[in-house]
Amino acid sequence: MSSLEKRLSAAADDSINQLGESFKGSSMRVAKPKTSPGCFSAICGGTPIKEREVDVILIGAGIMSATVGLMLKELEPQWAMMMFERLGAPGEESSNGFNNAGTGHAGFMEPNYTKEVKNADGSLKTVTTDKVEHVCEQFLSSRQYWEYLTKTGKLPAPEAWIHQTNHIALGVGKDQVEFIKKRYEAMKAHPLFHTMEICLPEETEKAKQWAPLIVAGRDPKEPICMTRVPHGTDVDYGELTKSKITAFQHLGGDLRLHTEVKDLKKNNDGKWVVTTKVNGAGSGWARNKAKFVFVGAGGWALLMLQKAGIPEVNGYMALPVTGDWAICQNPEVVHQHRVKVYAPGAPGAPPMSMPHLDYRTIGGKEVLLFGPFGSMTMKFLRYGSVTDAFKALKPHNILPTMGALSRNMSLAVMLMKDVFKSSMGKLHDIRHYYPEADPDDWVFIPAGVRAQIIKKDPKTGKGMLQFGTEVVTGANGSICGLLGASPGASTCVSIALAVIEKCFGDKPDFKTKWAPKLKVMIPSWSPDVAAGDMKKVTPDIVNGIYKSTGDALHVSPK
Ligand SMILES: Cc1cc2nc3c(=O)[nH]c(=O)nc-3n(C[C@H](O)[C@H](O)[C@H](O)COP(=O)(O)OP(=O)(O)OC[C@H]3O[C@@H](n4cnc5c(N)ncnc54)[C@H](O)[C@@H]3O)c2cc1C
């Protein structure tokens, strides 16, 4: 495994693969498919199957295809590119504003990116910072690319899709207070986090200023500690996806909505044949040929890569986890909490259960989201099918799946606890963060699906569950897909760079033509250095990037 792949993925010793801890954490939701079955025209005696040939095909119109497609279109404007989306609009699955938490993950406040290091006596010594540094560097790449797109008029006014919010890490109770303090000490020392401030348990007035809802009505005997970074953002990834795809279309990219990829096979001439079917009335099939296919199908990426028959995907399975958000639309409450607050979950809990109280702007509307309350599903996409998990189960992934599930029974227990949690139980969870939460202000809405990766642990050969993201490439780089879900949309630019380097890095033009263009788009990027691996970063460099991107995206600290 290359260092890039390693760093894009969670390690085998990720907390999720460790036994013994119990989880806390929601409810089943019902999603209505937006697509309807059509008719195979050849079978029904309708029009013959269409044949098309392009240079690049992108499966799915989420944030990942949007980013890879737009970047490739800028690098090679003459290439013909088609993007197929089964739903009626781009960015309606996990990338939709209400289906994710909209956090610009920069590692400022997410407790699950810093692992505890204990002293011999079991006390907390420090926390690791390698993952959090990488996540931060990846988001700096995203900010730079979005700055470039905004300045060149390819993205609309930033207010439509990104907002500044302070990112606060919260610890409640003695152990978590200690964790937040050690986390602060370890992170503050790094140039990437030198703007981090701390609010100690005794600094009550400061705490009220930072996050009044967290403080009001709290038991004074319960200590809290917070850190804050002013460079945090809230991103409406659904709007951003739509805007990137509009830019892709303006450059000549061809988006086909209501069009589902049903099959993909490698042809004898080395090209891919991607079979599509239009959903709905007047439905038709088409055979689309391309030299390169990007599988940005979100939770369905595994099913698509399996159809492609590439051996690189053998042994992989997905574990879909979904959930609900609690949403507050009362403007009086929303205006008191223009911050994002993350706190550690139960020991060993997976990222899905790290609760957070988030200020959001979605489609121009300001709300608070709390959650997610986890839940189980058999669907790999919110508008997927209950047969998804069965379809993905193959002889080569049965053992890793059984191994990963048996090692993570506590995750199932946590999810079941959440499924059966009463409204009072959920209110109790909200009040752990916001003690004066009024139940009348909160309603529950479904979140998206995260299809977490199950695969063979390369060290032990046993099945493991991982919360990272993996770029899987096959057939000499002619097909590439993205598995996994975390940190997610925030990393779309680093992922796009990784895809382009992996699949086109050997192209004669890459160093002479593509690399200089990419350097203009993302100045901190360099060929041969994995995206998000900025070397020798100094506080001045970091300040420079925040100043430039902050001014362009209107997200400078307030
Ligand atoms: C609860 C939750 C909270 C999250 N919070 C955050 C967060 O705070 N910050 C963050 O950065 N990330 C977050 N994420 C992760 C983030 O939302 C995802 O990583 C990201 O949106 C995935 O984008 P994508 O383009 O890969 O997939 P998607 O957005 O799911 O897009 C895939 C698209 O492919 C289409 N498709 C699939 N199969 C086919 C086919 N066969 N033919 C045609 N079209 C097809 C789908 O309809 C869909 O539109 C969160 C996710 C969840 C579920």
Predicted pLDDT at 42: 43
- Ligand 1 within 6 A of CB of 87: yes
Q: Nearest Cα to 326, choosing from 215, 422, 170, 430?
A: 430
Quick: pLDDT tens for 436-494.
Answer: 999 999 999 999 998 888 998 878 888 888 877 889 998 789 999 999 876 789 999 99
Both tokens assigned to 257: 């909505």
Cβ atoms < 10 Å from Cβ of 517: 12
Predicted pLDDT at 23: 29
Predicted pLDDT at 534: 67
Q: Using the mean position of ligand 1's atoms as its centre, give its distance from the Cα of residue 47 in Å.
A: 33
Predicted pLDDT at 38: 39
Quick: pLDDT tens for 15-74.
Answer: 434 443 332 333 323 334 344 343 444 444 456 688 999 999 999 999 999 999 999 999
485 Cα nearest atom in ligand 1 = 19
325 Cα nearest atom in ligand 1 = 1
Predicted pLDDT at 314: 92
- Ligand 1 within 6 A of CB of 105: yes
- Ligand 1 within 6 A of CB of 490: yes
Sign for the CA dihedral angle at 529, 100, 234, 417 comes to negative
- Ligand 1 within 6 A of CB of 102: yes
Tokens 């698509």 belong to which residue? 304
Strand partners, 59: 84, 295
Both tokens assigned to 320: 């879909």
- Ligand 1 within 6 A of CB of 360: no
Q: Using the mean position of ligand 1's atoms as its centre, give its distance from the Cα of residue 65 in Å.
A: 10
Q: Nearest Cα to 487, choosing from 32, 109, 70?
A: 109
Quick: pLDDT tens for 316-328.
Answer: 999 888 889 999 9
Are 400 and 393 in contact, with CB atoms under 8 Å apart? Answer: no
How far is 82 from 65, CA to CA, in rounded Å? 11
- Ligand 1 within 6 A of CB of 354: no
Q: Which fold has domain 3-40+47-553?
A: FAD/NAD(P)-binding domain (3.50.50)
Enter the DSSP assignment of 344: -
Residues 6 or more apart whose CB falls under 8 angstroms from that of 482 comprise: 64, 295, 296, 301, 469, 470, 471, 472, 495, 499
Q: Using the mean position of ligand 1's atoms as its centre, give its distance from the Cα of residue 62 in Å.
A: 6
Tokens 């991107």 belong to which residue? 549
Residue 268's identity, in one-letter code, is: N
Alpha helices by DSSP H, listed for 76-228, are 130-151, 174-188, 204-210, 212-215
Segment holding 109, helix H or strand E = none
Residue 398's identity, in one-letter code, is: I
Nearest residue (by CA) to ligand 1, atom 19, is 488
- Ligand 1 within 6 A of CB of 496: no
**pLDDT < 50 stretches in the chain:** 1-45
- Ligand 1 within 6 A of CB of 243: no
Predicted pLDDT at 349: 61
Q: Is 188 exposed, middle or buried (0-12, 13-18, 19+ CB in 10 A)?
A: middle
Q: Is 486 exposed, middle or buried (0-12, 13-18, 19+ CB in 10 A)?
A: buried
Predicted pLDDT at 24: 32
How far is 412 from 395, CA to CA, in rounded Å? 23
482 Cα nearest atom in ligand 1 = 26
- The domain limits of the chain are 3-40+47-553
Alpha helices by DSSP H, listed for 168-227, are 174-188, 204-210, 212-215
Q: Using the mean position of ligand 1's atoms as its centre, give its distance from the Cα of residue 222 in Å.
A: 38
